[in-house]
Structure 1
Amino acid sequence: MTPTDLDRATVEEAYARWAPVYDVVFGAVFEPGRKAAIKAAERIGGRLLEFGVGTGFALPAYKRSNRIVGVDISEPMLQKAREKVEKEKLPHIEGLCLMDGAHMGFADASFDVVVAQFVITVVPHPEATLDEMARVLKPGGEIILVNHLGAEDGPRAVFERWFARKARKLGWRPEFQFARLRNWALANGTVDMPIARDVALGMYTMVRFRKRSAAEIAAGRVDEIETVALAG
């Protein structure tokens, strides 16, 4: 294990600590990114997987015409989400499940959209988790990520590499770069190359992957990458 790796125990411990204060600390900070992710997801609509649902902060913002299933690795975070669903009477929430993202218990092609807000950089096994997201997604659907992504070079990249060891204790991986997502798409082979754009004045990046049909995969079609104003 390298100094920047995360294991499940580290992540669970970190988010058990965050659960009581997560909405207060991060609610307003993450709100622009959440709005962008939800807007993109609802262009497709249908049955949505909210991966890394956490305390359920985003759940009330989805239109009631959608059906939402939330999963998380942290039981304390999920308990907050369950309380929110009960308190706010959210009929569009199908279920909230405790799951390891790298081993989800859903059938293939179960969802029209998979949304992961501020989570792909903190899961223990990002590539295996993305593989699972692609597996449970229907052809033509999208994986939609919103996250801070690490700088490729320059002073911020140097700082993020230095900070990585300390951030691990908080359950964060600040040096996670866009190139890692692009490389995953190439290796996975079932999704088009990622479309990326900045949101929230460059604070976060939204990355979208469309799942290809069996015919497209057989034909070897891969759409070219489209990158819009990625943060440096």
Structure 2
Amino acid sequence: MNASTPARRLTSLLLTAPVALALPACGAGAVHLTPEQLEAALLTEEEFPLQASADTMAQDAVTLDADSQLFNDYTAESVDEQCAAALHGVYPDDGVQAPTAIGDYATGKHRIIVRTMSLPEQAELDLEEGFAAIAEACDGQTLAGADGEGLTLTALSDDAPAGFHQSVTSSSPLWAELMAELTALLDTHRVVSQDGNNAVEVMGIGLSETEARDILEAQEAKLADAVAAAR
């Protein structure tokens, strides 16, 4: 296994797995954005808080369910019962479908995936509550992976947006020295924001908590403008 394998695996998960988002019930006054509107609401390179190149993509319908937690390479049985319940408690068993858009931003040392989405009225989920539950129940615990690799989850600071921090760790002597050098590159902040039936998730590899918050707030504001224009 070469030194870039964990980074490629994490990036692949962020790019190819279904969007890990959930929202509260929409109710009256919900605004439904099309995939094209969601894509147009993504931050441009000029608007992005960091200097970055950007690629965007719209998706007509993404299924959000318990399998879209982005932890597929890791074993939930390696954490305690409360953490496992939080990891599996964000989505309904039968899932929901929603249009989404994905922005893939790259800097010299960061990789950031921004997702916007718009859920139907029947979605009765609370993304911020679900991610906060993961942060609280799984703080400091490690999901076991192959070859001694694991994914450690930690809570963010008290004033941070809903979300958590995840970092790849290893108990294998072979990886000990390499992981010490790669930790900063593999650290990922996942933060979320929602307003009615529209939401944003930011997943940033190599970001600080402050940078993740700044990107989330900028994207949240632009999405809010798109929702207001669509009313």
- Under TM normalisation by the shorter chain, which class is it? under 0.3
TM-score, length basis structure 1: 0.27
Comparing both structures, which one devotes a greater share of its residues to strand? 2
Q: Which structure is richer in relative contact order (CA contacts within 8 A, separation 6 or more)?
A: 2
